[in-house]
Every structure is written in C-alpha cells, then in structure tokens.
Structure 1
Amino acid sequence: MPSEISDTLTNRAALAVRQHASKRDQDLLLAVLQCAPNEEGRVNVASKIIHCGDAYKEARRLDSCHFAQLADFFWRNIIVPVRVSGGRTPQPRSRMSHSGIASADASHSPGMEAVNALQGVIKATLERDRYRCVVTGKVDPETVANGPGSLTGTGYEVTRVAHIIPFSLRNSVDYSSDCDSASAAHIPSIWCALECFGGISLAKLMHNGINSLDNVITLSATLHRYFTELQVALEPVPDAANTYKVLTWGKVAPRLGLPKTVKLFTSTDAPLPNPMYLALHAAICRLVWASARAEELTDVLTDLEDITLLAEDGSSANLINIAIYRSLTVADA
C-alpha cells in the first residue's frame, strides 16, 4: 500500500480517536496506532479504528463504547498476556521423573514435547551467542568452569535464554500453518491482535515452532528480567543488518549502563534472532509506556506474584485469564 494512503488512514484514525474516545482510551489507541512496528501494522490498526468510528456515527450513540471495546481488545490481547507470560518458561527435563508426579503419557504430550525440546534449543542458542549476553557481552561463569575451551567477555553473569515471543503463548491456538490465509475467525484473539499490531504473520511460531532459534536470544539474568518485563528492548536499526538500538524504560533499566547499540553475531550455522520478532517486542514495550498504563499494568500484576498456575507444559492460560480479569477490576476502581 502506498505510503500516502497509509498516512491518510492513520490521520483519519487519529482524528476519530480524538473526537470520540474517552481520554483513557485515547492514550492507548493513539499509542497502538503510533507504536505499530511497520506500515502494515499501522494500516491494520487504523482500519480497525476507522471501522469503530463509522459504527459510532451509524449508531448515533452518545458514548464511546466502540472505542472502549477496541482499546480493551489490544489491552487484553497484547499488553497483559505478553507481560504476564513473558518470563514464564518452564525448565526442560532430561529424563522422566520417578516420583509419580509425572506420567509417561504426560511426557509424550505435545505440551511436554515442546518443554523437553527446550534443552536442545538452549544449547544451540548458547553456542550461537558464544555463551554470553548479546547486549552486555558478559559470559556465564558456569560455562567458563564447565564449558568448551576458554571464553572471554566483558565480565561474568549468569545467562538465560529468553523467548522473544513468549513460549507460553504457543498453545493459544489450533492453527494450521499449511493455510496461507486462515480466516481471522479461526485465530484466537491473542495471536490475532499480535499479528494485527505487528503487521506480520506469526503462524511459524505456533505450537513447537515457538522454539525456533530465531525466536530466542541469550541475555544476562538481569536483562532477561527487564526484557520480559517490557523495560528493555532491541529495536532494529534501518539499513544496518543485525544491528539494534538498545531501548530502556522505567526507573531501573535506564541506569544499567547498557550500550546504545549492539550488533548480533553467530558462531554457528544457527539463525540469528528474527528482526521482525524483536521489532514487535520493542513495539509492545513502546506501547506499554506510551499508553499511560504502565502503572496500571503493575497493579494488575501485583496480585499475581504469589500465584503459581504455570502448568508443567509451560501453559500459563489460567494466569493470563486471571490477569485479564484483574485488569477489569483495576480499570473500574
């Protein structure tokens, strides 16, 4: 779509939001419109907003319910689930538990197969990223003690392999990647919202595809925390292959002394992190902080700290549902 048409749609959508949406929903909808990571994403969002505006006019309503519903769609299907499930990746098992807690049938379930596949994914990712955080260059001390040969870096810190698009979202859909153009009616709302906002297809990541090597990245334990809490992101630098601007938000992350840019390398044949996935993650981070709902999100998560509903196969659907329910009570407070 020509950029002139895209700009026209975006301007129409922004005007409709400012004219008809409540102040609270204005902040979020304008943020979704402005933070979409590419032109296709902006057009997708603008089209949804314009449709709401047309419905508003046809109904001749005196309230802004259509815009509130759209704002809730993005809040409940992008911000809340990605934030809640971001850091909740289960640990792989090298062999069956003999405690009686896990059964042999469970170990061969699709969910547990994805969890156990993580062991190979983690190994391949660490090898690709040279056993160090790709941002800080710090090497995992345990790898130095027990790993291959001598490793040098900028220092030492425990590393974690993070999924860019969260692992625990993988079972949110019964989606066939064989379908080039599946009906949106068959895509659950989380994936539908992510694809709409991101302007890209995420079909490759469904089910075991979530463990694709281009969807994982090695980070220090500190950065893993802030990356999954949507306070640190890597945003692709235009026309510079595998080069990223390091973005930070919040009170702590900007004080970590991180480099302004990083360039990713691979020491194996494994693919590097997909720039489109990192761009989507960065856009979601921008969305959280531009929507004026960062504090509200913190309130939503406060009551979840002591809840441990992550299933053994890595599914956090119950936790996401509770978070969404909690977001409704916070919004109404």
Structure 2
Amino acid sequence: MIKNWTGTDIQAIAGDTINDASNAMMLCKNLQDDFGNFLCWFEPSGESNKYYFNTDRNIKIIQFHDNSNIGIPLPNPTYLAIHAAFAKVFDASGAGMYIDGVFRDVERIGVLSSDGLSDVITLLNSFQFSQQAAGLSE
C-alpha cells in the first residue's frame, strides 16, 4: 500500500530512520489524537518545511522551525507524505469507522521499540491484512 499510494519503497523507510527525531513532532492533545487517527494531514506547500495542514474544519499554513539550538531534525517530508496519503484515502473512502479497529489490531501486535529494531514490515503487513478484512483493500 505504501508503494502504491506514495511511490515510496518500504525498505527505504524501514531502516535506521524510523525512530529518528525526524519521524516525530509535538502536537497539542486534540491534534495528536486527530493526527494519529488520520483525521488531519500535512501537504507540501512548495516551500521548504512549509505545509498546508488539512483538517475536516479548515486548512492552515504551518512552517516547521527548530528553536532548540541543538539541531533537532524537522519532520521528514517522506513520512508526512505517507501519512497524508493514508489520511486522504481513508477520508475519501469513508474508512474512518474502521480506523479504530485497525489500530487496536496494530496495538495487539506491538509498537515500535525504542531501540529501533521494530519489525516495521510485519506491522505494516498486519495493517494491510486488517484493511483487507475490512474490505478496504484488494
């Protein structure tokens, strides 16, 4: 699904960078929940680190900055594009009601380990299986 929906090779994201700071961002609680449930997403604006933030309520322009003075990486555009692709497909297909069940299945299997050794491919295959079972994928 990742390859088909985003053109991204799964092997390119399954390595060392999956647990990198560029695959994280701080959001307020309600946006964190919405982002985690694919109810909102970031789309590139054409300017570096500047995105359109899409929700069901509106679209805002967001510019990411590192104010840490230690060089924390900004969100990785590839990860944001993958998230956006899934969110748009779920939104267009009306799949929102299935999302909670899919995430329960993923939680049952496990979460990303802090040492970076998570089997991301198994987690994504489980996610794909859950999608197929819900009738959302071929």
Correspondence for 1:91: none
Is the CA contact (8 Å cut-off) linking 1:205 and 1:212 kept in structure 2?
Answer: no
Identity over aligned pairs, percent: 21
Correspondence for 2:129: 324
Matches within 5 A, 1:270-309: 270-295=72-97, 297-298=98-99, 301=101, 304=104, 308-309=108-109
Is the CA contact (8 Å cut-off) linking 1:236 and 1:244 kept in structure 2?
Answer: yes
Correspondence for 2:52: 245
Structure 2 counterpart of 1:230, one-letter code? F
Structure 1 gaps of 5+ residues are 1-192
Give distance in 2, aligned partners of 1:209 and 1:259. Answer: 29
In our comparison, the structure showing a higher alpha carbon Rg is: 1
Correspondence for 1:234: 42
Give distance in 1, aligned partners of 2:103 and 2:8. Answer: 33
Structure 2 gaps of 5+ residues are none
**What does the per-residue CA deviation read over 1:284-333, in whole Å, with 9 as the maximum and x for residues that have no partner?**
111111123333x24x718948x744369466958x748835852x54xx
Higher helix share: 1
Give distance in 1, aligned partners of 2:6 and 2:88. Answer: 13
Tell me how far 1:219 sits from its aligned partner.
1.4
Is the CA contact (8 Å cut-off) linking 2:102 and 2:127 kept in structure 1?
Answer: no
Task: Give 3-state SS (helix, strand or coil) of 2:48's partner.
Answer: coil
Matches within 5 A, 1:52-67: none
The CA RMSD measured in Å over matched residues stands at 3.5
Tell me how far 1:245 sits from its aligned partner.
0.8
TM-score normalised by L of structure 1: 0.32
**What does the per-residue CA deviation read over 1:265-295, in whole Å, with 9 as the maximum and x for residues that have no partner?**
0123232112232122112111111123333
